[in-house]
Amino acid sequence: MKSLVVFYSLEEHTKSIANIVAKELNGDLLELKPEKEIPKNGFKKFLWGGKSAVFKDRPKLQNEIPDLDSYDTIIIGTPIWAGTYTPAINTFISDNKIKGKKLGFFACHGGGGAKKCFEKLRGILSENTILGTIDFADAEEDEEKIKKVNNWISNFIIK
């Protein structure tokens, strides 16, 4: 089983989880990088990030996307912005035909919204098998995150 962990991370929370997941699955890692990034702090971060998520913006990405046909399993990781996945993830999903794959979703957040975010991802990627979902609060300790990832992979992703 060949796996790809695709993620976007503004403040490194999602990146830290993506690295753990990729290591545990011995999978490839793809960090989505928008050509124009939103501010990383202050009021503008919430204003521009929230607006772009709500309006389903599709920023142009710097990345070259690998051939998704060569992967059996794709794990998608995103921060939660305004109750949904980020614009970079929206671009990835919109620009690529993701059908007939085994998918897993993980999300990082400061205060919730994972259930709504996962429902939206399930809806837009309904032509795939969803193996499992998991979310992480930004304040969780690294050791707890590692335990949660290992449990998630064992019970949902590789069963």
pLDDT, tens digit (0-9, with 9 covering 90-100), for 77-86: 999 988 899 9
Question: CA 41 to CA 128: how far, in whole Å?
Answer: 35
Task: Provide the CA 78 distance to its chain's centre, in angstroms.
Answer: 3
Provide CATH code, domain 3-157.
3.40.50.360
Q: What residues are paired with 10 via a beta bridge?
A: none
Question: Three-state DSSP class for 87?
Answer: helix
* Between 158 and 122, the higher pLDDT residue: 122
DSSP structural state of residue 15: H
Tens-digit pLDDT profile for residues 76-112? 999 998 889 999 999 999 999 999 999 999 999 988 8
